[in-house]
Each structure stands twice: as structure tokens, then as C-alpha cells.
């Protein structure tokens, strides 16, 4: 349902996306793996229409988002929710006000309805009794869940997550991963998530995409990915420091590979 085809994006001389193609199926969970700087956030930004690629297409229900601009993207933006890597809750607004924000901005709903909907969204992420607190009074994991409730505000068809578990302990990482899986299963939301929590993602993903040097190195079900004999794929999923992806020895090579020309 979201098909990325031959996507290219460079920043100056640095080629970040170098022909990325894959499909994220409707009502499924797609996880994107890749080392730091491999272009995962750039890819997500292109998929939500926040960044224009140099070439290639992003098709949502057969409409090419890369051909749309400004206002034309509004109908799409209302159908998607995004959980950014660095939370981005408004610190001066309490939890309920943060979650209500998209409803106030994009709908003409009555305040009483908004109150009820905010409660429902907070209930979904297990934070019903925290409406009056400020983000600064919550743990990082709770702030992420509030951001998730806010991403759910407009009942999105698709949810995008950029490292939803970064900075969280293992228990909270499982909680968030399970939450993503529940939202998908119970509400049929298509989920597309970038993550470093490989082990957790392998348990719940329908599809894994592995980004490497600006391209999709491999894609498949968790079973297929785990059965891969490619040493690079094995290194990614086992997190082994020794292997073809040797960070200290080849970070320079890695940088070099990203440069074009
Ligand atoms: N707006 C930008 N301007 C210049 N360089 C950028 C910009 N956004 C990302 N980059 C560069 O592109 C590369 C990939 O970034 P990013 O997509 O954030 O990687 P990841 O999310 O996989 O860690 C990095 O080298 C980063 O510095
Ligand atoms: Mg990133």
C-alpha cells in the first residue's frame, strides 16, 4: 500500500538514498533496520512527505506523493501519524493538551468530544490518569507513549515510528514494541518503524527491510531474515561487533562509500 520505488536523495555530495525500493503492505508491520547514518530517518521523512527526494516515487494508494506539494499533501498528512525520534512534545502544554493538539488544529470537533477522544487515546497507551501532568514530569518512556497517543489523535491509517525505543530500558522497549503490535492487530493500523531493537522487532514484524549503503540490502519475513546466510545480514541481527560491518576499521570506508563523484 506504500510503495517506494528507486528513491534517491543526496545532501550536497553525500548520497544518502541511492535507489531504495520496497513495499510496506497495508495493515502489516514493516520494520526498517540499518546502521546509524544509513538514511533511515531520511527515508521516513520522504515517506511522510516532509522531504522531497531527488528522484524516485513514494506511492500511497496509487498516488505519487513526491509529485504533490504544500496543501496537496494535507489529505495524506491527515491519514498518517508520525512518532519522531526525539519526542517533540510541547513542554508548556500538559499531556491532554498535547494529545488534543492535532484534533484542535485539523478538525472542528466539539471540546467535549475532544476530551473523550483524548481519554481514549491515552487509555490505548496506558496513560489514562496522566492527563494533567506536564511532559517534564514524566519519564522518557511515558513521554514517548504520550507522543504515540498524539500520533493516534486523528485515527491514522498509517503510523510511522522513528526509533520509538531509543533511550529506553529493555522492559520499556518491550512495552513500546508490544504497543505497536497491538495497535496494528486491534485497530488495523499499518505500521512502519525504524528501529535498533532488532530482537524485539523480529518477534512482531511482518516484514523487515535492511538498509545498507543507501539501498535495500535485503527484505523478507523475520524467518527469512534470520535464515539468511549473508554475513552482513547475520551481523545486523546478532549485533556482532566483528564481521563485514566493522565499525572502527571501516567507518572511513563507509563514509567514502556514501560520497558520490
Ligand atoms: N538535512 C540534512 N542536511 C544534510 N545532511 C543530512 C540531512 N539530513 C540527513 N543528513 C545526513 O544524511 C545521512 C543519513 O542521515 P539519517 O537519515 O538521519 O540517518 P539514520 O536515521 O539512518 O541515522 C547522515 O550522514 C546525515 O548527516
Ligand atoms: Mg535516524
Q: Which ligand is nearest to the CA of 211?
A: 1
In this structure, are strands 190-194 and 2-11 parallel, antiparallel, or unpaired? unpaired
Nine cell digits for residue 118? 483524548
- Residue range 83-120, pLDDT digits in tens: 988 767 999 999 999 999 999 998 999 999 999 999 99
- What atom of ligand 1 comes closest to residue 40's alpha carbon? 22
pLDDT given for residue 240 in this prediction? 80
**pLDDT higher than threshold 70 for residue 19:** yes
* Binding site membership of 177 for ligand 1 (Cβ less than 6 Å): no
Residues written for the chain: 261
- Residue range 116-171, pLDDT digits in tens: 999 999 999 999 999 999 999 999 899 999 999 999 999 999 999 999 998 899 99
**Top-level class of domain 2-258:** alpha beta
Q: What value does the mean pLDDT take over residues 252-259?
A: 46
In DSSP terms, 247 is beta-bridged to: none
Provide the residue ranges of all domains of the chain, joining segments of one domain with +: 2-258
**pLDDT higher than threshold 50 for residue 252:** no
Gap between the Cα atoms of 68 and 47, Å rounded: 12
- Residue range 52-70, pLDDT digits in tens: 999 999 999 989 999 998 8
**pLDDT higher than threshold 70 for residue 254:** no
pLDDT given for residue 239 in this prediction? 82
Substitution candidate for ligand 1 out of 7, 10, 17, 37 with most atoms within 8 A of CB: 37
| Range in 19-33, 81-95, 212-226 with the lowest mean pLDDT | 81-95
How deeply is 115 buried, as exposed, middle or buried, from its count of CB atoms within 10 A (0-12, 13-18, 19+)?
middle
Using CA atoms, how far residue 98 sits from 129, 183, 227, in Å, is: 15, 20, 43
- Position of cell 488534543? 100
Whole-prediction pTM value?
Answer: 0.91
Q: What is the mean pLDDT of the chain?
A: 91
Q: Which ligand is nearest to the CA of 162?
A: 2
pLDDT given for residue 246 in this prediction? 59
Nine cell digits for residue 226? 534470520
Q: Which residues surround ligand 2, an ion (CB under 5 A)?
A: 40-41
Q: What value does the mean pLDDT take over residues 192-206?
A: 95
Gap between the Cα atoms of 202 and 246, Å rounded: 23
Gap between the Cα atoms of 233 and 209, Å rounded: 11
Phi-psi region of 23 (alpha: psi -120 to 50; beta: other; left: phi over 0): beta
* Binding site membership of 251 for ligand 1 (Cβ less than 6 Å): no
Picking from 234, 218, 195, the residue whose alpha carbon sits closest to that of residue 242 is 234
How would residue 258 be classed by pLDDT, with cut points 50, 70 and 90? Answer: very low
**pLDDT higher than threshold 80 for residue 178:** yes
Q: Which ligand is nearest to the CA of 161?
A: 2
* Binding site membership of 36 for ligand 1 (Cβ less than 6 Å): yes
* Binding site membership of 41 for ligand 1 (Cβ less than 6 Å): yes
Amino acid at each position: 500500500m506504500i510503495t517506494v520505488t528507486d528513491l534517491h536523495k543526496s545532501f550536497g555530495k553525500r548520497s544518502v538514498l541511492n535507489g531504495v525500493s520496497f513495499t510496506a503492505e497495508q495493515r502489516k508491520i514493516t520494520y526498517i533496520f540499518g546502521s546509524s547514518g544509513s538514511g533511515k530517518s531520511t527515508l521516513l521523512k520522504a515517506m511522510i512527505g516532509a522531504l522531497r527526494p531527488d528522484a524516485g516515487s513514494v506511492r500511497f494508494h496509487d498516488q505519487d506523493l513526491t509529485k504533490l506539494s504544500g496543501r496537496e499533501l494535507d489529505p495524506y498528512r491527515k491519514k498518517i501519524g508520525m512518532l519522531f525520534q526525539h519526542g517533540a512534545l510541547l513542554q508548556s502544554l500538559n499531556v491532554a493538551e498535547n494529545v488534543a493538539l492535532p484534533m484542535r488544529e485539523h478538525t472542528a470537533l466539539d471540546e467535549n468530544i475532544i476530551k473523550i477522544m483524548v481519554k481514549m487515546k491515552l487509555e490505548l497507551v496506558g496513560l489514562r490518569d496522566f492527563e494533567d501532568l506536564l511532559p517534564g514530569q514524566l519519564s522518557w518512556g511515558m513521554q514517548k507513549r504520550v507522543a504515540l497517543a498524539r500520533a493516534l489523535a486523528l485515527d491514522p491509517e498509517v503510523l510511522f515510528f522513528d526509533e520509538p525505543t531509543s533511550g529506553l530500558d529493555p522492559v520499556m522497549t518491550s512495552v513500546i514494541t508490544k504497543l505497536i503490535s497491538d495497535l496494528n492487530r486491534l485497530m488495523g493500523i499499518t505500521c512502519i518503524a525504524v528501529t535498533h531493537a532488532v530482537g524485539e522487532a523480529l518477534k512482531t514484524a511482518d516484514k523487515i527491510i535492511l538498509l545498507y549503503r543507501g539501498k535495500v540490502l535485503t527484505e523478507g519475513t523475520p524467518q527469512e531474515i534470520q535464515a539468511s546466510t549473508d554475513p552482513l545480514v547475520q551481523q545486523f541481527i546478532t549485533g556482532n561487533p566483528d564481521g563485514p560491518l566493522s565499525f572502527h576499521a571501516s567507518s572511513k570506508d563507509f563514509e567514502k562509500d556514501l560520497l558520490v563523484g
